[in-house]
Amino acid sequence: MKSIAVIGLDRFGITLATTLAQLGHQVLCIDNEEYTIQSIADVVTNAVCANTTSETALRAADLKSFDSAVICISDSMERSLLTVLAVKEIGINSITVRAISDDHKKILEKLGMTDIIYPEYDMATKLAYRINKSKIREYLEFSNDYSIIEIAVPEKWVGKTLRNLDVRNTYGINVIAISHPSNHSVDITINPNNPLSKDDALVLLGTDDIIMKFAKTID
């Protein structure tokens, strides 16, 4: 069981806090709206109405005793940033922050935040891949710069081997697994000399820019 503070209770924050509580974790919710706190008080371990930008208020809410904090504030970049500073001053080492714009994300990075989530951007990107006519089946953001995709083996690759295709040097992408949907298996120990089947799927890792370029080449 982990102890997690969720700060900022819009729909995203409420869903996160509720799910974490249902999974058995100790959850502290902090928001500056009393009615929002009352709506979730019976679901989580503790819910406190407080000024999230105030270090004093956050200490009074016993934030210091929690392992990590997720800052989900989405209505004000200023309030989000001030809350980040207050949480850092308290000494919470594991902080996840929701970004609400590109500028917000850049400022968070300047503040040293490495665990940044950007739900709107992430979902829009995934939807774009789904709508796109490429062979991409799944898209997963691996880090701020890298993504993992699963694609059906392109028709022009069927019968060829990974050694022949030289995917890494040709496209700048790494094949990390081969999925076999027909028998629900996945090979993570890849033999580069085995011919690719039209029923296979490739799991690839690469930078976001290279992934975008690669998606165009396989249409």
Closest CA to 4 of 96, 77, 91, 117: 96
The pLDDT assigned to 185 comes to 79
3-state secondary structure (DSSP) of residue 4: strand
pLDDT digits (tens, 9 = 90+) for 202-219: 888 888 778 777 777 765
The pLDDT assigned to 134 comes to 55
Rounded to two decimals, what is the model's pTM? 0.64
The 10 Å CB-count burial string (b at 16+, else e) for 12-32 is bbbebbbebbeeebbbbbbbb
